Amino acid sequence: MDSREDEQQRGITMKSSAISLAYNTNKQNYLVNLIDSPGHVDFSSEVSTAIRLCDGALIVIDVVEGVCPQTQAVLRQAWLEGIKPCLVINKIDRLITEVKLSPMEAYLQLQKVVEQVNAVMGSLFSTSVMEQSNVKINTENSSTKVNADGELSFDWSSGLEDADDENLYFSPAAGNVVFASAIDGWAFGIDTFAEIYSKKLGASYNVLSKTLWGDYYINIKAKKIAIGALSKGKKPLFVQFILENLWNIYDAVILNRDTDRISKIVTNLNLKVSTRDSKTNNLQSHLQAILYQWLPLSEAVLKMVSSSMPSPLDISEERVKTLMCGRYKTIDIYSQDTQKLKDVIIKCGSEPESPVIVFVSKMLSVLQSDLPKNRKKPLEELDVASRYEAAKKKLADREMAAECAGDEFKESKVSVEVEENDQCFIAFARVFSGVLKKGSKLFVLGPKYSPLIRAETLTDSPLKPVEEVVFGHKFSSVYMAECTIGDLYLLMGKELNILDAVPAGNILGINGCADYILKSATLSSTLACPAFTPIPLEAKPIVRVAVEPRQPSQLHRLVGGMKLLNQADPCVEVLVQETGEYVIVAAGEVHLQRCLDDLTQRFAKIQIKSSEPIVPFRETIVIPPKVDMVNEQISGTNKNAKHHTQRLPSYMLKEIQSFSDTIRKQEKSDINIKLQRYEEENSETFYMKDEIVALRKEAKKREKLGLIEAFTADKQYCVCVHAKPLPLNVLKCLEQHNFLLKIIQRIYNEDDFQVAINSLSIETKLQIRQFYDQLREEFQRSGKLWKDIINRIWAIGPKGVNDNILINNVNDYTRPSIWCGFIDELKNEGLHLREFDNSVISGFQLAVQAGPICEEPMMGVAFFIEDWKRLGNNENSYVENSLSYGPISGQHISALKAGCRRAFMAQHLRLMAAMYSCDIQTTSDVLGKLYGVLGKREGKILKENMKEGSDVFDIVAQLPVAESFGFAEEIRKKTSGLASPQLIFSHWELLDIDPFWIPTTDEEYELYGEKADSENQALKYVNQIRKRKGLYVDEKTVEHAEKQRTLKKNK
């Protein structure tokens, strides 16, 4: 199935591919659509696209490594999509040849792996049940009841006691677990040996299938199967009947080769091994020949799939609702025609009258030459002769035309066009209802399409594709379009076979949709069908590089290649930055390398230059530290040694200076107004001076406290703002419920606000209410400053991240908070400022989107608007100033953006770095080398566990994303391939050092030296980011010349 060259070189799957397998039994025949998806964390988006099309999932686990973070992520994806998983415990051969466990020890290890997987399933199940229980309690308005004595009683039950989890867990006795060694080609389930021993021993098949796994043993005296093997020191049936036989085969063939024992084993098992396999020097091939005949892998896996996994006819109602509405909307908001489609999808009918509903999860890129219509056919004798004559004539024509000067240019132009058009996109899809036929016309429903659109909107204008431009290429993927279905393909790995029609429940490839679908879409014969919910991606793209062609004249080919790459990969993002750079955003280092290879070799087919990987950072502020860099308390003499704003670099001081100049101009304006007023009142001069001095003192005092006054350009409005770091518990709460904040923002962007709220499901409204209550409690715990602030949240940003808040502390301006419509509505007052409300929000969003340190987004910052007032009342001057300085709304945006940035710089600045969670398994021999590499790259060891009965260590560490490039390769080199890390994005971590810190106290000078010899990690990152963005960097090429090496020529 791994047909790509880079997949074969690395030995991992990078692209999911499908194949249709026929499985015939004595009772029934099956058609199994199998999708092979990657296991590497960088390609988890391929898993997401595959899960949407499936009814079941085979979870493959390495028996030695056990449950890894990626295993948990896949189980969570399967649970959320509502598909049934089955377990394949793979690499049993490692327990024999590598770890060298005994059959009893191997049995305990297998038990442990099954328990680990069941623990993950149990946590998912309990979380789901408790959420449903909370919905039920809130729907009934109260869980408090009055008993017969008139006393209040509360129902504390969580619902777990009554929930049915009978078919939830994995158990070999239940038939949903298979033990395998894929490299040796064998696998078995409990039913395989139950059938063998029921014939051999004359025991009941049903009894053996229930007792071969578990704490059961044979009581020879009583001639029956009894329980309590481990407590009585007996061998369990699984060890005695199954594992010992496997261990004997491996011992005879691989570990201690014995040809006599091998012949005896082959004879007893009634197998036929060819002479070539029995006499080969390759012991692995000999072993495979024996075990594949005895325990064929395909038979065991397909038997489990056919017996334990549901067919497309058994799709659950809950899953259909999730596909049509998602987890946050209810199907009741749709019309009756739309609601009837739910029963149509559940029925999975293939009748002619059934509406056709197809979901496309991704677009597959294939070569034009690989399409069946372009495939070379076997030549007959007449065809060979005719082709020979044609080629001979073509050669003669070319020789005659060689004299023409322009022919060479024409020929090269044609070859370029062939190169640019050799890729074809096939839709990777599943038919959920009806029969899909070639040539049928279907509606392409984009992610934003909804059947709630008014009918007159559809009839007033012809149905035309709403175009989305991606690098100059237009896709009809925003709302809807109409397309004609081209060829239909049966997917057989890399090969494609043409089909005339495909009934419901099957996976297929569709040609002819490439111009209408960017990444995923829904195809339907009726506009009553809603667009299926977007596929949630487990891994978000975080690593980016800027690319450019080595030859500038080939820029158009780079743009075209990036467009094709964007369509072919469900996770990658391509964009053009404000600087004009073309950027590729990938999920990780391996994913990024594959994207660059595809761009060079398949899509653009040109040589490109790529920048160093671009890693995102976050800018934040902290409360004033209580200790300095030598861990001494900041008090007394060293408290005011040098204010932190005086240590800022020159580019930030210039921004502060320009902002201060604006305030001074306003102060002069205020002073002139007071002078004019005092002259009119004939006041004494010393009174005037006293008030001006007081005015200046108050302004300095407010600025010292971090309270910043920002004025519009025409000096008609003033906004007073200051910044505070969000409490850590509040920030964690916002991060955990980021998906709910996105829903709230999307609702506010809808044209009909009330209809959008009503479309939410009861569960979603309850989750928003619970989030509100939890956030309020976290604010209450955080101190007096944050008390009762929940209803004064003005906005949250930046959009899509939602880690900063804007708070309304203006006394005479009461406005609806972001909870309006979800919790309690507030009165809309302060109408004299309401018209500029959106401008204030826009200014806040611009400020938190790019901070002043290195123009990276802010995180964990709260901005308080303490005052917002209009200084002038003359309407004529208002009109004149608008003509001079631009619209007042734009002035508000600029003023608040500048004010927020200045308020941010008035606090103690810090940088936040993206962190990977790093899981490594290695032996004790190379543990020291592993720690050396982690320490060199600023890594932190969190856990170190030794596996029982082996010298294998499980290491859990944290590693900055910025230091992760080349980490896996260096680890493999240092450990001679004995360790391989798995990196998963974990969180954002504060770099607890001031980026612009310099030694100020005597103790700091003594420890760090006058020139701060130790490197400031945060400053290093800041300078790297600013250099990359073309911003000013406050550093000198040669700062301390005496530290340079002087070369002396010895005479």
Tokens 């199954």: give the residue: 242
- Residue listed under structure tokens 């002259």: 679
- What the block records as the tokens of 193 is 């040996």
Contact criterion met (CB below 8 Å) for 848 and 842: no
Number of Cβ within 10 Å of residue 17's Cβ equals 22
Whether residue 77 contacts residue 48, with contact meaning beta carbons closer than 8 Å, is answered with yes
pLDDT tens-digit map of 941-957 = 998 888 776 777 888 99
Find the mean pLDDT for residues 304-327.
Answer: 88
Return the ∠ at Cα 514 (arms to 510 and 516), rounded to 5°. Answer: 110
Under the banding of pLDDT at 50, 70 and 90, the label for residue 1041 is low
Tokens (6 digits) for 685: 């001069």
pLDDT of 412 > 50? The answer is: no
pLDDT at 441: 92
- For range 41-57, the mean pLDDT: 88
CA distance 962 to 192: 50
pLDDT score at 860: 92
* Token digits of residue 976: 């001679």
Which of 775, 772, 769 is closest to 733 using CA atoms? 775
**SS3 label, residue 609:** strand
CA triple 887-892-894, angle to 5 deg:
100
> Could you give the 3-state DSSP secondary structure of residue 878?
helix
Phi, psi of 268 (to 5 degrees): -65, -35
Angle 762-781/103-139 helices, nearest 10 degrees?
90
Look up residue 676 and give its two tokens. 């004019």
Q: How far are the Cα atoms of 598, 697, 771 from residue 37, in angstroms, in the given order?
A: 19, 68, 35
Residue found by looking up tokens 């489609």 in the block: 341
Interval 143-158 mean pLDDT: 50
Instruction: Give tens-digit pLDDT for 628-639.
Output: 666 667 665 444
pLDDT (0 to 100) of residue 386: 74
Query: In the β-sheet with 708-711, what is the strand arrangement from edge to edge?
Result: 708-711, 717-725, 861-870, 804-808, 793-797
Beta bridge partners of 574: 584
Tokens 């997949």 correspond to what residue? 7
Residue 46 · residue 35 · CB < 8 Å: no
User: How much is the pLDDT for 831?
Assistant: 44
Strand arrangement of the beta sheet that strand 177-181 belongs to: 56-62, 84-90, 177-181, 186-188
Query: HEC profile for 423-460?
Result: EEEEEEEEEEECEEECCCEEEEECCCCCCCCCHHHHHH
β-strand pairing of 804-808 with 861-870: parallel
**Structural element, H or E, at residue 227:** strand 224-227
Candidates 954, 930, 958; CA nearest to 944 is 954
Strand pairing report for 177-181 and 84-90:
parallel
Residue 1035 has pLDDT above 90, yes or no: no
Left if phi > 0, otherwise alpha if psi is -120 to 50, otherwise beta: which for 929? alpha
CA 58 to chain centre: 21
Cα-based distances in Å from 453 to 410, 442, 463, 480, 1001: 51, 18, 13, 12, 68
The residue with greater pLDDT, 160 or 256, is 256
Neighbouring C-beta atoms of residue 848, cutoff 10 Å: 29
Q: Report H helices in 279-371.
A: 283-294, 297-308, 317-325, 336-347
- Give me the pLDDT at residue 246, please: 94
In this structure, what token pair is assigned to residue 208? 């053996």
Higher pLDDT, 564 or 705: 564
Respond yes or no on whether the N-terminal peptide bond of residue 798 is cis (omega within 30° of 0).
yes
Q: Which residue has the tokens 């009741």?
A: 332
Over the stretch 821-868, which tens digit does the pLDDT of each residue have? 777 554 444 444 556 778 888 899 999 998 899 989 999 999 998 888
Helix, strand, or coil here: 467? coil
Q: How far apart are CA 726 and CA 877, in angstroms?
A: 40
- Residue 349 CA to its chain's centroid (Å): 35
- Cβ 500 vs Cβ 421: under 8 Å: no
* Position 136 pLDDT exceeds 90: no
644: pLDDT confidence band, cut at 50, 70 and 90? low
> Measured in Å, how far apart are the chain's first and last C-alpha atoms?
69
**The tokens of 706 are what?**
């971090």
Give the pLDDT mean for 610-624: 89
Question: What's the one-letter identity of residue 780?
Answer: Q
Beta strands in 940-1016 (DSSP E): 940-946, 952-960, 982-991
In angstroms, the CA 895 to CA 889 distance is: 10
- pLDDT tens digits, 535-594: 887 777 888 899 999 998 999 999 999 999 998 888 898 988 877 889 999 988 888 989
Which residue type is seen at 4?
R
Res 142 pLDDT > 70: no
Overall average pLDDT of the 1031-1036 stretch: 78
Give the containing element (helix H, strand E) for 910.
strand 908-923
Farthest CA pair distance, the chain: 124
Q: In whole angstroms, give the CA distance from residue 356 to residue 351.
A: 10
Q: Which long-range contacts (CB under 8 A, 24 or more apart) does 582-586 make?
A: 582/546, 582/547, 582/548, 582/558, 583/544, 583/545, 583/546, 583/547, 583/614, 584/544, 584/545, 584/547, 585/541, 585/542, 585/543, 585/544, 586/42, 586/541, 586/543, 586/544
Query: What b/e readout covers 615-627, taking b as 16+ CB neighbours within 10 angstroms?
Result: bbbbbbbeeeeee
Give the pLDDT confidence score for residue 1048 in this predicted structure: 60
For range 804-825, the mean pLDDT: 77
- The closest alpha carbon to 307, from 540, 553, 84, 537, belongs to 84
State the pairing for strand pair 480-484/152-154. unpaired
Around Cβ 284, how many Cβ atoms within 10 Å?
A: 13
Residue 713 has pLDDT above 50, yes or no: yes
Give mean pLDDT, residues 797-810.
84
pLDDT number for residue 464: 40
Q: What is the pLDDT of residues 490-533, one digit of tens each?
A: 998 888 999 999 999 999 999 988 888 888 899 999 988 988 98
pLDDT of 663-676, one tens digit each? 545 544 554 555 45
Give pLDDT tens digits for 434-487: 999 999 999 998 877 888 764 334 433 333 443 444 444 444 444 788 899 999
The answer to whether residue 179 scores a pLDDT higher than 90 is yes
Cα 569 from Cα 537, distance rounded (Å): 12
Half-sphere exposure of 759 toward its Cβ, with a 13 Å CA cutoff? 18
Look at the block and give the residue holding tokens 């007081």. 694
Percent of the chain residues past pLDDT 90, beyond the cut: 24
Q: DSSP letter for 117, please.
A: H
Angle made by CA atoms 284, 285, 286, in degrees to the nearest 5: 90
Q: What is the C-alpha separation between 180 and 987, in angstroms, rounded?
A: 36
